[in-house]
């Protein structure tokens, strides 16, 4: 199962190869929202997969996100799921939930299998109590750590973009991500992956240091990884 497809199909297949994943084994794609950095490779991937395997590759997304996409060159098998729905793909149980972001109807996800809970949380301007509720009990979390606030303020973006990123429907900063993780959420977190880092207003070392300092101050012992845009992180058991 693939969550989002925001890079080209060719680049995605290169990442699959690095991670030793056969793309023909994909059973489904789950889409969080329609922004280009989450769906730019989707149509090409679905079209190529179906032509190569002669099997449908279902795309799970909500109605408003589906309506925001351009399907003119591809006719996928669409499975509509509303925020708050629980659905299954193979032996994975998935719960979707609403997140505050400036998209048509953005969602986060919790995946459960064999007693493990994995949260996928990117593209949100703040973390409301409803999101904290959905993430209770997670052992693994992929969490947005999009920007360093000072780097954003002096960075290359127009002020209108900076305001959007900093807004309540924008993106989590390093400090906001760290504050959330150490805010007393009821989970048994052992692996934390920081993701969705900006190339222009963040740096992996800065994101890692901010989170490490917060974890140390809160006396939380968590395996920490920082995902980057240049390739997959190494594989690990969760």
CB neighbour list of residue 125: distance below 8 Å, 6 or more residues apart: 100, 101, 166, 167, 168, 169, 170, 171, 172
This prediction's pTM: 0.94
pLDDT tens, residue by residue, 162-208: 999 999 999 999 999 999 999 988 878 999 999 999 999 999 999 99
The answer to whether residue 25 scores a pLDDT higher than 60 is: yes
CB neighbour list of residue 151: distance below 8 Å, 6 or more residues apart: 200, 201, 202, 203, 206
Closest CA to 141 of 189, 93, 97, 95: 189
pLDDT tens, residue by residue, 26-59: 999 999 999 999 999 999 999 999 999 999 999 9
Rounded mean pLDDT, 217-224? 94
Q: Is 1-91 in CATH node 3.30.450.40?
A: no
Weakest-pLDDT range from 58-62, 69-73, 104-108, 204-208:
69-73
In terms of Cβ atoms closer than 10 Å to its own Cβ (0-12, 13-18, 19+), residue 221 is exposed
DSSP notation for 59-84: EEE-HHHHHHS--TT----EEE--TT
CATH 3.60.15.10 range(s) for the chain read 1-91
């Amino acid at each position: 199962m693939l969550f989002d497809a925001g890079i080209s199909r060719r680049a995605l297949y290169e990442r699959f190869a690095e991670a030793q994943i056969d793309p023909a084994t994909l059973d489904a794609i789950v889409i969080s929202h329609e922004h280009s950095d989450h769906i730019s490779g989707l149509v090409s991937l679905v079209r190529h997969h179906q032509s190569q395997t002669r099997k449908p590759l279902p795309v799970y997304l909500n109605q408003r996100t589906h309506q925001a996409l351009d399907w003119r060159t591809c006719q996928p098998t669409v499975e509509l799921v509303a925020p708050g729905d629980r659905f299954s793909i193979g032996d994975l149980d998935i719960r979707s939930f609403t997140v505050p972001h400036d998209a048509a109807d953005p969602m986060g996800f919790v995946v459960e299998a064999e007693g493990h809970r994995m949260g996928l949380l990117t593209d949100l301007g703040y973390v409301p109590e409803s999101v904290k509720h959905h993430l209770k009990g997670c052992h693994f979390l992929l969490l947005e750590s999009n920007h360093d606030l000072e780097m954003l303020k002096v960075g290359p973006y127009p002020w209108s973009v900076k305001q959007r990123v900093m807004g309540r429907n924008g993106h989590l900063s390093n400090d906001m991500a760290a504050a959330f993780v150490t805010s007393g959420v009821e989970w048994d977190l052992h692996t934390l992956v920081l993701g969705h880092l900006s190339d222009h207003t963040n740096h992996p070392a800065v994101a890692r240091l901010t989170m490490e300092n917060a974890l140390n101050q809160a006396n939380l012992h968590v395996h920490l990884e920082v995902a980057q845009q240049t390739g997959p992180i190494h594989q690990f058991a969760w």
